[in-house]
Amino acid sequence: MNVADLTTFGWNEFFEVNLKSYADMGFTCGRVTLEHRNLFRVYTQNGEVNAEISGKLRHEASSRKDLPAVGDWVVIRAQPEGGRVMIHAVLPRRTSFARKIAGSRTEEQIVGANVDTVFLLTSLNQDFSLRRIERYLIIAWESGTKPVIILSKSDLCDRVADSINEIQSVARGVPIHAISVVTGSGLQDIEQYFKRGQTVALLGSSGVGKSTLINHLAGVDRLRVQTVREHDDRGRHTTTHRQLVLLPAGGLVLDTPGMRELQLWDGDESLQLVFDDIEALAERCYFGDCQHQDEPRCVVREALAAGTIDAGRYQSYEKLQKELKYQARRRDKLSEIVEKKKWKKLSRLATERARLKRR
């Protein structure tokens, strides 16, 4: 295996160890660069190939998270007939960038795998929202990746410094960069995140400039860009599927479709990290199980009354906390259903084997 070529796409010792048992059986590997319906584009030692999921892998997958996602390193083998490449397994993910799938179903969706840094993009126009940034931060920290906040379209804003100060109040310690692809301002500052083999995922609403930034980094118009509507500063979805783009100067960027419905999947510890100021105050309440409602000597309510905690930030904390608790209940119920189905299937197979033995 030409490891030198694969390291360009992020191959390292972590994946080498996990591939060994498969390599001994004659399998090779590749990284998923594009997912489109049931077809995958995979970068291998021999270049990019089209691949499909094997029937066994699809059958054994308990949910969508067990199937390949963009950024995954997958175990593959070429089929002699038709030159097809089949994906037989997904190597363990070093990091996984997940969300609850859009809609009412309780299911985890892997948005990107093996990501090193997440760019949380928000534009310095009507898209600017501290509450959205708090939500993005929870998802980023939960994934195991490093979050970086990117403020795009700085050329359209005359209060960039004030906006950065506002974000620092909710994202203490997280790097913040204001950029403009139009003027080139701030673009040199983000080059540090695109070292060889490093993967950066872009997350942000429609119209914040994700595709424009990728086109700049790639040096070509890789992705279609639509202009922003004048009446509300919003753009339409320009990316319809996730894809991993290898940049000419090194590094990789993972683009994700604009997420209008970004729902949390998990993140209790990340919630505590993002709202560490509120959590620290809550520990000083007189009652250990204080709900910050009518209890006496509640430090959180005292801070709200004094203005030490911003009321909007606390409302966001409560909302996200309730959302995570609701998803936890839904996950527990789903796990119970999946477990029952598994044992029902095993019982049926045991009954069939016993019946065959009696013949």
Q: Which two tokens stand for residue 116?
A: 């090193």
Q: Which of 34, 28, 26 has its CA nearest to residue 5? A: 28
In the chain, which segments carry CATH 1.10.40.50?
268-335
Q: What is the pLDDT of residues 134-181, one digit of tens each?
A: 888 888 888 889 999 999 999 988 889 999 999 998 888 899 999 999
Angle formed at CA 63 by CA 61 and CA 64, multiple of 5 degrees: 100
Do residues 134 and 169 lie in contact, with contact meaning Cβ atoms separated by under 8 Å? no
Do residues 246 and 196 lie in contact, with contact meaning Cβ atoms separated by under 8 Å? no
- Residue 240 pLDDT > 70: no
Do residues 263 and 331 lie in contact, with contact meaning Cβ atoms separated by under 8 Å? no
- Residue 224 pLDDT > 90: no
In the chain, which segments carry CATH 3.40.50.300?
96-255
Amino acid (one-letter) located at 89: A
Amino acid (one-letter) located at 151: L
Q: What is the pLDDT of residues 241-267, one digit of tens each?
A: 678 999 988 899 987 663 434 555 555
In the chain, which segments carry CATH 2.40.50.140?
3-90
* Averaged pLDDT for residues 337-341: 58
226 pLDDT tier (thresholds 50, 70, 90): very low
H or E, element range at 89: strand 85-90
pLDDT at 220: 73
Q: What is the C-alpha to C-alpha distance for residues 241 and 307, in angstroms, rounded to an integer?
A: 44
| Averaged pLDDT of the chain | 81
Q: Which of 105, 110, 179, 127 has its CA nearest to residue 149? A: 179
* Averaged pLDDT for residues 172-201: 93
Do residues 65 and 99 lie in contact, with contact meaning Cβ atoms separated by under 8 Å? no
What fold is seen in the domain 268-335?
Ribonucleotide Reductase Protein R1; domain 1 (1.10.40)
What fold is seen in the domain 96-255?
Rossmann fold (3.40.50)
pLDDT at 327: 67
What is the CATH number assigned to the segment(s) 3-90? 2.40.50.140
